[in-house]
Structure 1
Amino acid sequence: MKPNTADQRYLTTLLDQLGIDPDEISRRALPLYRQARRLAPVGLGTDHRDKVLTPRAAQAWLKMREAAAADGVVLSVVSAFRSYDYQALLIRQKLERGRTLAEILAVNAPPGCSEHHTGRALDIGTPGCPLLDEVFEQTEAYAWLRKHAGDCGFSLSYPRGNPHGYVYEPWHWRFGREA
């Protein structure tokens, strides 16, 4: 679902504050997402903060995590729902650390373009693996997800060579056909 008019105006302001050219969104064919309004808790993330998803995505995640555990695989939530403001904060922090906008936008969506806004996207980790690292694809957790995530309604969002220009993210999975 696309953002309403008020959210679109707010997103335009955020993009301007961050120095992100709105044409970047159309050039990369990035979809715009509305922020989820109804959210349900899914437990603590790897940062020991509460994580939330939409009720249906939360139910599916908990079912998937339980199924993986039954097979001896531990799946952890690294990141779940993110507001527009939090997405902007992530970008600001990276800019303050000296990263270029081009580097940042290869791994972080501009505010309004993150599947995390929908409350139906997760970044997933597993013990013993660096977080948000391509090495995740070499884990038992990733192999399990490739085989079983679809049974729970999840799919990999950003495979190698994805059409949106994001780096390969074997840890990023979304619930539902489209976020």
Structure 2
Amino acid sequence: MLCIECWVSPGTYADRGLPFYRYPAELVAVSTGVFEGQQCLMTPRTRSQWRAMHTTAANDGVGLQICWAFRSADQQAKLIRDQLAWGGKLDYLLTWIAAPGYSEHHTGRALDLDSFPPAEKFEDTPAFDWLCNNTWKFGFKLSYPIGNDSGFIYEPWHWCYQDIIENTALHQSCEVRKI
């Protein structure tokens, strides 16, 4: 079994400005919209803002669903182990799966979203366009836009609640879009 030290040196992540994330004090459940009865965990404030955003999107004719929310460090490690077992190369995997402790999903504020019905290429959906134009109103930000300097790939599905709503700053961060 691999250990965190085998995956990444903390200095490398720190050099890229990536924080080590701690679990939130409280997590609450919300339905994912993917499978009936399946629930995801997130912070209470994230859930409140997600529900408001989800309702507004639905009123605008846009279907959104959660694919992932909170993930523990053990779940993060399992994702990496599974990908390695399927022949994945570690250097590549760490461009789209953060090492345990370094994933925004550990905060209970990160949501991986998809359109409803699901789309093959999320960034080409009306749902993604809607998110880019509206999430800042609810405190969500696209974490890994094209050209980000975190070392992670472009993730149009990954949005993180910021615990504050600074409309201008968040809206400007969403303007980095697909090419």
TM-score, structure 1 as length reference: 0.83
Q: 2:77 aligns with which of 88, 91, 95?
A: 88
2: CA distance, partners of 1:146 / 1:101: 31
Gaps of 5+ in 1: 1-12
Residue 151 of structure 1: CA displacement? Answer: 0.5
Gaps of 5+ in 2: 165-179
Partner in structure 2 of residue 26 of structure 1: 14
Residue 163 of structure 1: CA displacement? Answer: 1.1
Distance verdict in 2 for CA 1:160–1:177, change over 3 Å: farther
State the AA in 2 paired with 1:41: A
Distance verdict in 2 for CA 1:45–1:14, change over 3 Å: farther
2: CA distance, partners of 1:23 / 1:156: 25
User: Aligned runs of 1:133-152 on 2, under 5 Å?
Assistant: 135-152=121-138
The answer to whether the 8 Å contact 2:40/2:69 transfers is yes
Task: Classify the secondary structure of the residue corresponding to 2:30.
Answer: strand
For each residue in 1:115-160, what CA deviation from the matched residue of structure 2 results, as whole angstroms up to 9, or x when unmatched? 0000000000011403xxxx21110001111111110111100001
1: CA distance, partners of 2:43 / 2:54: 16
Distance verdict in 2 for CA 1:97–1:24, change over 3 Å: farther
Q: 2:139 aligns with which of 153, 164, 167?
A: 153
State the AA in 1 paired with 2:67: V
Distance verdict in 2 for CA 1:47–1:102, change over 3 Å: farther
Task: Classify the secondary structure of the residue corresponding to 2:87.
Answer: coil
2: CA distance, partners of 1:146 / 1:23: 32
For each residue in 1:22-78, what CA deviation from the matched residue of structure 2 results, as whole angstroms up to 9, or x when unmatched? 333234332111012311111135255310110000110011001000011000001
Task: Classify the secondary structure of the residue corresponding to 1:163.
Answer: coil
Larger helix percent: 1
User: Aligned runs of 1:1-179 on 2, under 5 Å?
Assistant: 14-16=3-5, 18-46=6-34, 49-126=38-115, 127-130=117-120, 135-176=121-162
Identical residues among aligned pairs (%): 43
Residue 85 of structure 1: CA displacement? Answer: 0.7
| RMSD, matched Cα | 1.8
- Following TM superposition, where does structure 1 have runs of at least 4 consecutive aligned residues deviating by more than 2 angstroms? 18-24, 26-29, 44-49
2: CA distance, partners of 1:47 / 1:167: 27
Which moved further from structure 2: 46-55 or 66-75?
A: 46-55
